[in-house]
Structure 1
Amino acid sequence: MSEEPLWVRYARQWGWRAYAIPVLAIITVWVLVDVFTSPASETDTGAAEPTPAETETSQPMAGPDPADTEPVEVPFTELPPGAPFAEQGAGTYRTVGTPGMVAGEGTEQVIRYVIEVEEGVDTASMGGDDALSAMIDATLSHPMGWTADPRFRFEHVAPDQDPTMRIQLTSVGTTHEICGNDLAMETSCYTSAGERVIINESRWVRGAAPFEGDLGSYRQYLINHEVGHGLGYYAHEPCGGEGELAPIMMQQTLSLNNDALAETDPNEVYRIDGQTCIYNPWPYPNLMP
């Protein structure tokens, strides 16, 4: 018997696969040739589709640069732009916050304070009553605050625990009634009648131009400055030197420049010397790195 041809034995051994394997090999070769010879624009690279901005310009978009715009000058008599505030409250107050914060040694003074909000003043835009209370507690217990002086101690107490100071967030109209309005601008005050720290809500909401939009620092300054009056620091203080941190008892709400403050009230302590300080919310800012 003659020997069978190789292709016959191959077909008998592999059956239908003898036909399928060559076909698959041909298809594979064809696909590879097509991929490597097709134009790049016709192949799928897996990259994301370009966005409209990428197709319109070859340069990436640049964010806003403050150097391209001049800062807005806000006169003494105007508040910075911002959220609305109450023009007139009811003149009565509600107690807010949770008593319990204690800070400082108190070798000479122990300030037992309550926190109150005038009825008609809505604290929702500033985080609510508890946020206001937490901000005041944190400021009065801060290591750079008044308790850095061992003479002072602060205790946040309930209304029935003989408070010696009331810190009150107050509408513009009521602030004017209590503090007076000798200056044609919005300010806060401390009054010994009832030992009250009157926080003008318009300033709490809008801040002050010298703080350059740093609302948190301004609120800390406002608390420390007015409480400072309550501790016995009745006089204001001038800027101590060009580029230095402003003293906490400087009227930083109005200006950081001695000349400007002297022009505002010639009877104050400010001298015409051209000195301008840097805003500072703390009585003892150099006690922390």
Structure 2
Amino acid sequence: MPSSPRARHGSARSASAVRPTARPAARRWRPMVVVAAFLIAAGVGVGAAVQRPPASAEVLVDDGLAAEPAALAAGPASSPPGSPSGRPAPSPATAAEPVLSLPGPVPSAGSGSFGYDDRQGAVLGRSGGLRRFRVAVENGSGEDVHAFGDAVQKALAGPGSWVDSGQLRLQRVPAGSGYDFTIYLATARTAGQMCLAGGTDIRVGGRPYTSCRTPSKVIINLDRWRLSVPHLVKAKLPLERYRLYVINHEVGHQLGHHHEGCPGAGRPAPVMQQQTLFLNGCTPNPWPYVEGRRYTGPPV
């Protein structure tokens, strides 16, 4: 409690003279102490209210928002050890299992006509000759042409794709523009017909099985796009990586590259190896360039 200047500097006044001055000061501080105590108590209450979210609060769940139940928002009656908020510590997130093959039936035939991606894509590659391509999806296949166009763009952009040579650029163009080739996603029956018309029989066991390339046409079989193949599913190769491979493999044919073999057991398969049919001891690989260098195998 502060005192008068005279008291601090040793005034000769008697104790009886000082007391009447000190007594009113004590009375003035008593209400302030009460108010301070009230505010401290109120502050604790406010803090508790801030820490406890309302029943309608939202919490982030995976990639979306979900309303948090009222019971969870209120928290338990007492905090468990090591959990000052009153909630149990969250368990570590587990990585989602990769998609190896899509469930459900795959249309074996479509209308035979195609819808085209109407978007112009960015130029892929830093230098070299420019080749333009269109993207098309068969009507009745159940596939979205923009989603397929995005997957093609991702595969050809790399890193690791054909444009990494520094001597090639690629660009997706909409229908009606000048183009060099078209990348089709077709049902098995249509793919079989288109490939056979171009001189390639893609049947295995009597059914159109693989994808192919014919002059100015890269044809991706819908069965493979949705299901991959049994030996790669068994190897737990994510479907997304198989899709990268099949696009780069067939576009590789369009660019003039031929089939290659496995360079050695345990080594990555060259992208021009027929990984849809066999690995021959190699491991799956979707890219023509590995660690910045063209990766090849023996000619077949």
Alignment TM-score > 0.5, same fold: yes
- Note if contact 1:118-1:168 (Cα within 8 Å) is conserved in structure 2: yes
State TM-score, norm by structure 1.
Answer: 0.61
Question: Structure 1: where are the runs of 5+ without partners?
Answer: 1-43, 49-62, 67-78, 258-275
The list of structure 1 runs, each at least 4 consecutive aligned residues, that deviate by more than 6 angstroms after superposition, is none
| Residue 239 (1) aligns with residue 259 (2) | no
Question: How many Å separate the matches in 2 of 1:83 and 1:96?
Answer: 25
Q: Which stretch has the larger CA shift, 131-140 or 207-216?
A: 207-216
| Residue 91 (1) aligns with residue 112 (2) | yes
Letter of the 2:245 partner, please give it: Y
Deviation at 1:182, TM superposition (A): 4.4
The one of 211, 214, 220 equivalent to 2:244 is 220
Letter of the 1:209 partner, please give it: P
Question: Structure 2: where are the runs of 5+ without partners?
Answer: 1-75, 81-93, 196-200, 294-300
- Note if contact 1:97-1:134 (Cα within 8 Å) is conserved in structure 2: no
Question: How many Å separate the matches in 1 of 2:174 and 2:148?
Answer: 16
Structure-to-structure mapping, 1:1-289, within 5 angstroms: 46=78, 82-96=103-117, 98-105=119-126, 107=128, 109-123=129-143, 128-179=144-195, 180-184=201-205, 186-192=209-215, 195-211=216-232, 212-233=236-257, 235-257=258-280, 276-287=281-292
- Note if contact 2:117-2:175 (Cα within 8 Å) is conserved in structure 1: no
Deviation at 1:153, TM superposition (A): 1.0
Letter of the 2:210 partner, please give it: T
**Aligned partner of residue 291 in structure 2, secondary structure:** helix
Counterparts in 2 of 1:245 and 1:104: CA distance versus 1, 3 Å? same
Give CA deviations for 1:246-284 in whole Å, capped at 9, x if unaligned. Answer: 000000011101xxxxxxxxxxxxxxxxxx101000111
Counterparts in 2 of 1:283 and 1:47: CA distance versus 1, 3 Å? same
Higher relative contact order (CA 8 A, sep 6+): 1
**Aligned partner of residue 124 in structure 2, secondary structure:** strand
Question: How many Å separate the matches in 2 of 1:132 and 1:121?
Answer: 12
**Aligned partner of residue 154 in structure 1, secondary structure:** strand
Give CA deviations for 1:214-243 in whole Å, capped at 9, x if unaligned. Answer: 10000000000000000001x211100111
Aligned CA RMSD, in angstroms, stands at 2.6
Question: How many Å separate the matches in 2 of 1:143 and 1:163?
Answer: 24
Counterparts in 2 of 1:86 and 1:239: CA distance versus 1, 3 Å? same
Letter of the 1:163 partner, please give it: Y
**Aligned partner of residue 221 in structure 1, secondary structure:** helix
Give CA deviations for 1:43-94 in whole Å, capped at 9, x if unaligned. Answer: x99589xxxxxxxxxxxxxx9xx9xxxxxxxxxxxx9773321111111111
- Note if contact 1:146-1:224 (Cα within 8 Å) is conserved in structure 2: yes
Give CA deviations for 1:119-150 in whole Å, capped at 9, x if unaligned. Answer: 11111xxxx33221111111111121000112
State TM-score, norm by structure 2.
Answer: 0.58
- Note if contact 2:106-2:226 (Cα within 8 Å) is conserved in structure 1: yes
Question: How many Å separate the matches in 2 of 1:47 and 1:99?
Answer: 57
Fraction of identical pairs, as percent? 34
Letter of the 1:286 partner, please give it: E
**Aligned partner of residue 204 in structure 2, secondary structure:** coil
Deviation at 1:213, TM superposition (A): 4.2
Paired residue total: 191
Letter of the 1:242 partner, please give it: A
- Note if contact 1:210-1:252 (Cα within 8 Å) is conserved in structure 2: no
Counterparts in 2 of 1:146 and 1:251: CA distance versus 1, 3 Å? same
Question: How many Å separate the matches in 2 of 1:256 and 1:82?
Answer: 24
